Structure 1
Amino acid sequence: MQEATKEYCALVVNHALSKAYFEGKTQKDVADEINVDPAGLSRAKKGNQNLGITAINTLIDLFGAPKVSEGLYLEAIVLEDFSQFKLLYQSIHDDIFNKELVAWFNHEKIKNKTFKLLAPYYPYKYPSQSRFPSIFDKEEPSEAVKLWVDEFIRSPEFLTWVREAVESIKFVKSENDMEPRFAINDLEFKGVNHWVSDEDKASLLNLGYLIENLEPNYSLFTSSVYQPKFSVSEVVLTGSLVDESIDDRCNQARQIKSPLGFIFSGEDFPEHRHGKPNKYRKIQQFNLVNSAYIDLYLNEKMEYRLRIFESTSRYSNSYVIKNVHGAELFDIYNQLREFYFLPQSDLKSLKSSLAEKGGYIPGALVL
């Protein structure tokens, strides 16, 4: 928190008054809003009086914070230090994927398709239906059916198939196929086996992954909105850009643990593919980080910040690491490059940039 000095108070007051004048308010209006004497506000404006932290915070709430220094605006996940980045990295991606999976399976078309895929395994027979009851096709499922579906998708039998199917996935390519396709183990429960496409199996794999690894109490019949554990914050990175990655393409793609599945986008999926109606996007085998940028910032208080931007096969992420100790900077920088399979740096260009920006270089003789 910024120290409530007379100088900072004057900065806040002048900023607030400028915005107030733009909004058609007077200096007396501002004084009344924070319950101070107009003469006291005039003295604070000139730096001769400190209005106190309560009045300062009220002014900031009403008119925003004053400009302190120029910076770069971005939206990012803010982490305290490099160790927290490594510790939470997989959990952050699980969080993103969880949100997308819940949105996907809450979509009515996907939900209805899932009912149909599971229908042949429904244990109760309907005399009027030779293959599966009509409740899976057009009508609203009964409470008994809903209960059965939610029990089935959490059953050891279904989850065992999910694990074994993931392990069995292999590429299959015929002479007529332009792209390799995936072969996934057949669905068979209690002696019932029916043909299911690999795309539909992939959807069921994601459902099993969601329940087993991310959201054990998920229900297909509750349109719940997933509450993310990691929020994206608005950030202004102040200071100078010391160094930015030039070789952004990773030498090899970093794999993020997730099941075989679709590129999810909630309700926004393409309606046509190859000129034919299609509700699903192309299957991806893994979520891969294909490129990454690592930027180093140094502000006027000699505080180092790292900004990381990564692009995966499904989405993009931005991170800001707040606390980077100067003595550990070069080690962390190369650890990050190794983490993303970027070419290692001899650090000469980074040290040159640091020297130009007034940064600290451990071991260097300053003359």
Structure 2
Amino acid sequence: MLDDTTARTDGTSAHLPAQPADARPTAGWPAGYPDGYAVVDVETTGLARDDRIVSAAVYRLDSRGEVEDHWYTLVNPQRDPGPTWIHGLTSEALADAPLFEEIADELAARLRDRVLVAHNAIFDWSMIAREYARARREAPVRRRLCTIALSKTLALPLPNHKLESLAAHYGVVQEHAHHALDDARVLAEAFRPALRLAASREARLPLLACQPLSEWSDRIVPRSSSGGSSGYRSGSYGRSWRPARKRPACPYPNPGRYEPGGRLVQGMRVAISGDTSVDRELLEDRAIEAGLHIATSVSRLTSLLVTNDPEADTSKLVKARSFGTPVIDEAAFSQLLQDVQEAAPAPGG
């Protein structure tokens, strides 16, 4: 493991350059902004729910984005390392690395009481949350900030939402793409001016609640045979990490919207937004077994939206508000799943 007193394994410095005095914000700072940030990057064996972390890096920043320290570690995933052509970490390189359980305390200390910041933050957060769940621990993260969402909030003139485009916009030089420590450095250096810009506009930061996993099933997900020896699909890295699942067709007609205070009825279309304390696939499976239709998006036909973060501006929540779709949290939904009303018999049945 490397900390703020050491150099990277490739011999180059991992410290951020000092900010010129005239580049630092001098005006007031929005009172509602977080007290500190943990800029995170993880490299993994792949994108599926059973994949593992092979390296992790954290840059701790203060409330105004100034670097406090940084940390990096390899992690033995106890399985094939996956896309070595991307992250460069072979089984031999990871053989003597610590297991996640052995670095969990140190990582937790660096995340605690801070907003987790990452590029495509749902990926990094979900991988971390699942590693802690496997270790029968809880990740000490309560909020996250995605720098893609921040770039959109600030309307930055980027050609796309890749990390290299954000880095180029702020003149940050990438030295070793897909090395967790360098990616975290680049993101920390690009996040700092973006945070200052947001503060100068008193913009609302796109913070989302993080719900640590309390129930987890380490079920192996079948992999596509089209992506190489590990089943990893080249070109999808850092984008969509949740593999599409084929769900059985719901055999019941949609009875309409859920009536608050009433019962769920078989055939209702239910969408889920944000993090859940029960692993998402487990929660979806329970809903399907109860006779509900799990929808991937919200439309006028959606009966109910489930979310633990009703103040978030996710696309599903925005649509639910516009359609007047009822919204409840995961705990209430789990309670309702215990007594789902049977579908009405078909006319003439």
Coarse TM-score class (shorter-chain normalised): under 0.3
TM-score normalised per structure 2: 0.21
Structure with more relative contact order (C-alpha pairs < 8 Å, separation 6 or more): 1
Structure richer in strand, relative to its length: 1
Q: Which has the larger radius of gyration?
A: 1
TM (normalized to structure 1)?
Answer: 0.20
Higher helix proportion, which one? 1
